[in-house]
Amino acid sequence: MTNVERNLAQADYNEFCKIFNGIDFADVERIAKEKGLTFGADHGCELVDVNFNTILATCVNKNGKSLVSPNVEIYDKDGNRIYCGELKEKKRRTIKIEVEIEYEYEPEHHALKGMEESYIDAVAKDMAIQPNGNSIVDGVRLIHVCNREEDAWWLINNDK
């Protein structure tokens, strides 16, 4: 199994878990049918195998709720089984904070000549917050990020 196939299967498993984990077990079959999914060999009152994109995953009846089993089968694009084993749901948390950003740039830079100040500011701002730090405008530098809610300032050291 290639890394691409494994990553695709992992993404499918995560999506499957979002749909089926924790719902009423009685709803698994109905939801699967509504989504046009097909069923595997095990299809009964205690567990249901569901074909979902590149995987076959199993929903287990746990006190009336659906629990997605980590045991899966992974299939290639031709429908051949290429893996039978465990996947774990990868969970992510997103934390949102409002920040204030301070940046600086060289307004006399040759690449900025003839441009309006508001446009230069907008370009510099975009360049300052790019995660890769590459800039068409040399000398744009992110200096501080501030979380006003916490009154916290972070000095960004991105000198190159």
Q: 70 versus 136: which is more confidently predicted?
A: 70
Final residue before a domain boundary, out of 53, 86, 119: 86
Q: What's the structural domain count of the chain?
A: 2
Say which amino acid occupies 42: D
Final residue before a domain boundary, out of 59, 86, 113: 86
- Same structural domain for residues 7 and 76? yes
- Same structural domain for residues 9 and 81? yes
- Same structural domain for residues 131 and 68? no
Q: For the chain, where are the alpha helices, taking DSSP H only?
A: 3-20, 28-34, 117-128
- Same structural domain for residues 44 and 119? no
What mean pLDDT do residues 2-26 have? 92
- Same structural domain for residues 79 and 126? no
- Same structural domain for residues 82 and 12? yes
Q: Is 160 domain-assigned? A: no
What phi, psi does 40 have (nearest 5°)? -90, -165
- Same structural domain for residues 10 and 64? yes
pLDDT value of position 50:
96
160, pLDDT greater than 50: no
Residue 47 is part of which domain span?
A: 3-86
pTM of the model: 0.57
- Mean pLDDT computed over every residue of the chain: 79
133, pLDDT greater than 60: no
What phi, psi does 57 have (nearest 5°)? -120, 155
Q: Is 95 domain-assigned? A: no
- Same structural domain for residues 73 and 123? no
For 48-74, how does the pLDDT look when each residue is reduced to its tens digit (9 = 90+)? 999 999 999 999 999 999 999 999 999
151: which 2 tokens? Answer: 């009154």
* Strand residues in the chain grouped as ranges (E): 38-43, 47-52, 55-62, 65-75, 81-86, 100-104, 141-147, 152-155
23, pLDDT greater than 80: yes
- Same structural domain for residues 55 and 122? no
134: which 2 tokens? Answer: 């590459």
The tokens 């076959």 sit on which residue?
Answer: 56
Q: Is 18 domain-assigned? A: yes
pLDDT value of position 19:
95
Q: Beta strands 47-52 and 65-75: pairing type?
A: unpaired
List all residues 6 or more positions away from 46 whose beta carbon is below 8 Å from its beta carbon: 60, 61
Q: Is 92 domain-assigned? A: no
Q: Beta strands 100-104 and 81-86: pairing type?
A: unpaired
125, pLDDT greater than 60: yes
Structure confidence at residue 144 as a pLDDT band (50, 70, 90): low
2, pLDDT greater than 90: no
List all residues 6 or more positions away from 5 whose beta carbon is below 8 Å from its beta carbon: 54, 74, 76, 82
Q: 158 versus 76: which is more confidently predicted?
A: 76
Final residue before a domain boundary, out of 86, 109, 131: 86
Q: Is 59 domain-assigned? A: yes
CA 80/CA 76 separation, integer angstroms: 5
What mean pLDDT do residues 131-149 have? 54
